Structure 1
Amino acid sequence: ACAVGGPAINPTPRRMITQEVGKAMEAAGYNGGMKLTISIPAGVEIAKKTFNPRLGIIGGLSVLGTSGIVEPMSEKALIETMYVEIRAQKARGNKNLLVFFGNYGEDFTRDEMKLDLEGHVTCSNFVGELLDYAVYCGFETLLLIGHSGKLVKVAQGVMNTHSKYADCRTELFALEAMFHGASVEVGREIYGCLTTDEVTKVLKREQIFEPVMDKVTEKIDFYMQHRVHGKIKTAALMFSNVYGILGKTKYADELIQLHKQKGV
């Protein structure tokens, strides 16, 4: 969510920093300008152990956050928390799950799609565990709404979307682009993109965005259904904060309407 060439500080922490500095300035009776330097000790060295260099974030760590609330949890705790949320929906009599990877999906769905988010479940990176448990609990449908950087991994059969387990955000896009007439040079350009928004820009420029995205969402549908063995109707919607809705699997519209009707 940061402009290219600018500080790698997400909007929420940037707003919080600005607010606190403003309070300090007001308390001191100062109305002039202010230059603020954010420094993370040993950030340059620590960043080498993260995914930042692959995203084009250079010179140190990035400052992330979407809510201002830090919830340190182990993977086991995150999965168990997801299970609790799913069981709670089951206990309420809900047969149709609405699922997000995290805050980005929630914000996009609420702000752009105008859906009521009451009763949703957060799966973090654990798509496989989500699908398995939804089947185990006897749900009838599951709609997963996520950013393209996450869902494109599912299109390749990756069921834990954390970057430490799998990247593969550009490979399928590059391959499908060449299958749909792009040159090898364009394929290499897509393969080398740092973000899926960059990939989308290239696909639109080459006028092959729609057929490529159709194949990607077809793959997402295949792997979700393969995981649940056809025991639950699944759908997914892929979005971008820059380009909006990018693609939907074949039952996505049906399940979106179902959730609108149910108000969940």
Structure 2
Amino acid sequence: MGLMWRFFAPEGEVRAQKTYNSRLGILGGISIIGTTGIVTPMSEESWKRSLSLELEIKRASGLTRVILVPGNHGERFVREQMGVDTQAVVTMSNFVGYMIEEAVRLGFCQIVLVGHPGKLIKIAAGIFHTHSHIADARMETLVAHLALLGAPLELLTLVSDCDTTEAAMEHIEAYGFGHIYNHLARRICLRVMQMLRFTKTPPVCDAILFSFDNHILGSNRPVDEIAKELQC
């Protein structure tokens, strides 16, 4: 005579809404991981593969346009400020170059990079892995592009001495150089297209920068125009 075991996870469906399950096609409840209750940290390659899997699922569902964000702040911005279905959003974490290449491999026709300048301005310098242990150059990038826009030496010095992007942004606003964010967004797209220069049919690339309080700072072209295309 055998035994039949039945396992229950109270409020499983509710708790699952706070996870990535639905994005990975796991519906109807929460997933139970392992037997110890401990989740072993992924290697970087495993982490990248899990993010790529989400891209594959989106593409298999019929999506041809994708929004890549560093993390949850980007998804909230897309939902609240762009009015776009967050089903088009995929987290890229620090793996910008890898995820762009994966999106190209899967045949997406439009890639929109959405994030805070603290992450995305690194792309303007040709840095496609944005973790600080790989490279930084945030202040150097800001100083270089402010100089290109004719910023005074006093502002360049203030920004160069900043420890955080937020602190630099306060000086940029005080000196009336907020238009740098449109400039940086265009530069980001240029860098992406340079990276994809050997791609036979490269996708359309857009970039949108936003502040921590969820306001649009700049973009390579009007955000409404980008949002309209994403809703097609």
1:195 aligns with 2:164: yes
Work out whether residues 77 and 214 of structure 2, in 8 Å CA contact, stay in contact via their aligned partners in 1.
no
- Partner of residue 190, structure 2: 222
Work out whether residues 186 and 207 of structure 2, in 8 Å CA contact, stay in contact via their aligned partners in 1.
no
Work out whether residues 146 and 156 of structure 2, in 8 Å CA contact, stay in contact via their aligned partners in 1.
yes
- The one-letter amino acid of 2:192's match is M
1:77 to 28, 40, 46: 46
Q: Which runs of 5+ in 2 are unaligned?
A: 1-38
Structure 1 length-normalised TM: 0.67
Work out whether residues 108 and 241 of structure 1, in 8 Å CA contact, stay in contact via their aligned partners in 2.
no
1:142 aligns with 2:111: yes
CA distance in 1, matches of 2:88, 2:40: 20
- Partner of residue 217, structure 2: 246
1:111 to 80, 91, 109: 80
- The one-letter amino acid of 1:244's match is H
- The one-letter amino acid of 1:214's match is N
Query: RMSD in angstroms over aligned alpha carbons?
Result: 2.0
- Partner of residue 162, structure 1: 131
Structure 1 residue matching 2:86: 3-state secondary structure: coil
CA distance in 1, matches of 2:73, 2:140: 23
- The one-letter amino acid of 1:220's match is I
For residue 253 of structure 1, report the CA deviation from its aligned partner.
4.2
- Partner of residue 173, structure 1: 142
CA distance in 1, matches of 2:154, 2:212: 27
- Partner of residue 154, structure 2: 185
Deviations 1:10-59 (A, max 9, x none): xxxxxxxxxxxxxxxxxxxxxxxxxxxxxxxxxxxxxxxxxxxxxxxxxx
Structure 2 residue matching 1:118: 3-state secondary structure: helix
Structure 2 residue matching 1:150: 3-state secondary structure: helix
CA distance in 2, matches of 1:97, 1:243: 20
Structure 2 residue matching 1:139: 3-state secondary structure: coil
Work out whether residues 234 and 251 of structure 1, in 8 Å CA contact, stay in contact via their aligned partners in 2.
no
Deviations 1:186-226 (A, max 9, x none): 2111012122222221112111221x223212210101111
CA distance in 1, matches of 2:103, 2:135: 23
Structure 1 residue matching 2:87: 3-state secondary structure: coil
**Do the aligned partners of residues 233 and 251 (structure 1) sit closer, same or farther apart at CA in structure 2, a change above 3 Å counting?**
farther
- The one-letter amino acid of 1:82's match is L
For residue 251 of structure 1, report the CA deviation from its aligned partner.
7.1
CA distance in 1, matches of 2:156, 2:182: 17
Structure 1 residue matching 2:84: 3-state secondary structure: coil
**Do the aligned partners of residues 253 and 78 (structure 1) sit closer, same or farther apart at CA in structure 2, a change above 3 Å counting?**
farther
CA distance in 2, matches of 1:102, 1:83: 15
CA distance in 2, matches of 1:71, 1:111: 34
Work out whether residues 112 and 205 of structure 2, in 8 Å CA contact, stay in contact via their aligned partners in 1.
yes
Structure 2 residue matching 1:104: 3-state secondary structure: helix
| Corresponding residue pairs, total | 191
Q: How does 1:9-20 map to 2 (within 5 A)?
A: none
- Partner of residue 33, structure 2: none
Q: How does 1:206-217 map to 2 (within 5 A)?
A: 206-210=175-179, 212-217=180-185
Structure 2 residue matching 1:255: 3-state secondary structure: helix
Instruction: Give the percent of matched residue pairs that are identical in Structure 1 and Structure 2.
Output: 31
